[in-house]
Chains A and B, each alone.
Chain A
């Protein structure tokens, strides 16, 4: 199973771009990389998913290098409402669909 490592916390200011990196050195061939956002007292919310290269949606971009041993979630122009915990999740068929979350990164956006 791919173990993930993320920074425990990050600080940013409104309007800045935030990049959160996740390390997953033993990612399996068929594993996908998925990022979640969680606010207090709520369940995690899906942000973005990718397999390789770059994926972009309306809220974020996900950058995955060729060796897939890490990934970077990019949040453009963060606002106060982006203050949350962000989780990287790696898994798929090769891990028998056993989806284990890492410790997450607590992002604080300041005015």
Chain B
């Protein structure tokens, strides 16, 4: 099992550009999450999903969109990138039996210039 896979690992965007961060998991987990972590700070929840077709906002959803068409994939879309979105983005997944035991991807480091 690969676990949680995020792509790309690094990306530089110009202000106003859009992009999608990909996240896929092969553990058949129902729950998936997107967090962002600014330098020296904690993790902030952007969006989460408890199953295919179901998504919900976290603490900092503005400027982002998500979709969950399959159990495996949970892409995060940035529209009109801004310097404030420069951060490391982590995708995570878990199961109903072990709520809170999150399996994290390696992160995607995004810089907006």
* Residues of A near any B CB (own CB < 8 A): 32-34, 36, 41-46, 49, 85, 87, 89-93, 96-104
Contacts and interface: CB of A to CB of B under 8 A. Distances in A.
Contacts of A96: 50, 56
Contacts of B74: none
Contacts of B50: 96-97
Consensus secondary structure, chain B interface? strand
B75 interface: no
Interface string B39-77: 000111100101000001011000000000000000000
Interface residues of B, number: 25
Nearest to A1: B59
B104 A98 contact: no
Given A49-B101, A99-B45, A101-B35, 12 more contacts: A41-B107, A43-B90, A44-B102, A87-B42, A87-B43, A89-B100, A91-B99, A93-B99, A99-B48, A99-B102, A101-B45, A102-B42
Interface in B95-109: 98-107
A43 B37 CA distance: 10
Nearest to B106: A43
B99 A98 contact: no
Nearest to B88: A41
Contacts of B90: 43-44
A87 B44 CA distance: 12
A89 B92 CA distance: 14
Contacts of B94: 99
Contacts of A101: 35, 42-45
